[in-house]
Structure 1
Amino acid sequence: MLKRILLIVCMLTASASFAQVDVNKGDQAALSSIKGIGASTAKRIADERTKGGNFKDWGDFESRVQGIGEKKAVKLSEAGLQVNGKAKGEAAAAPPAKASSKPAAKPK
């Protein structure tokens, strides 16, 4: 019985550490659950979101929240923070579609 309880506690702890939190949807408690975000940073994020509206992307988030730079944003993303459902670098990872430089073939 004790082993089951310990197993359940370990599983809950592991799942909580990999939780994804969107910066535009999470409250202060949810934001604080991300490793690297304390109570004061969570408050700054929530206050800035209230003042300036939702964050458009990671660059917007970094520029508007004091104390969040490129390195910190990468660490927060790795810990599970998202902006509009995207991890840091996720939007830039997909290359933009290129227009073909070849003319379209004429149908016969």
Structure 2
Amino acid sequence: MKSLFALLFALAPFFCLAAVNVNTATQAELEALKGIGPAKAKAIVDYRSKNGAFKSIDELEKVGGIGKNMLDKLRGELSVSGASKPAAPAAPAQAKPAAKPAK
């Protein structure tokens, strides 16, 4: 049992190193990044809503409050893969014509 806990403890850092996808992350997920507080996280979400998915990590420099130095520190923790896409609008339901009565 002790060896199982030791193994889990040893592997824990690898589970915490997953990159945050800036195209799908929530404001709370962005706030979990070192140096990103509520204001910067909201600015990222707002920029993404207004301009669409980020095409590269470097595009984050266009977000207010995020400069080259901060971006360089965060680069290993960020990804832009799997850009979020807005859900396609549902097709309106079409009424089926009434069946003709059998004769």
| TM band (smaller chain) | 0.5 to 0.7
Is the aligned partner of 1:70 residue 2:68?
yes
Q: Which runs of 5+ in 1 are unaligned?
A: 86-108
In structure 2, distance between residues paired with 1:26 and 1:56: 15
C-alpha distance after superposition, 1:74-96 (max 9, x if no partner): 11113x122337xxxxxxxxxxx
Q: 1:32: Cα distance to partner?
A: 1.2
1:58 aligns with 2:33: no
Normalising by structure 2, report the TM-score: 0.60
Work out the CA distance in 1 between the residues paired with 2:39 and 2:45. Answer: 10
Describe the shift of the 1:31–1:9 C-alpha distance in structure 2 as closer, same or farther (beyond 3 A).
Answer: farther
**Partner of 2:54: helix, strand, or coil?**
coil
Aligned to 1:45: 44
Q: Aligned Cα RMSD in Å?
A: 2.5
Letter in 2 for 1:71: N
Counterpart residue identity of residue 54, structure 2: F
Q: 1:83 aligns with which of 72, 80, 83?
A: 80
TM superposition score normalised by structure 1:
0.58
Equivalent-residue separation in structure 1 for 2:81 and 2:34 (angstroms): 19
Please state which structure has a larger fraction of its residues in helix. Answer: 1
SS at match of 1:26: coil
1:53-90: per-residue Cα shift (whole Å, max 9, x none)? 11111332212x01112111111113x122337xxxxx
Larger Rg: 2
Q: Distance in 1 between matches of 2:30 and 2:72?
A: 15
Distance 2:10 2:38 in 1: 25
CA distance 1:10–1:33, shift in 2 (3 Å): farther
Shift of 1:11: 6.0
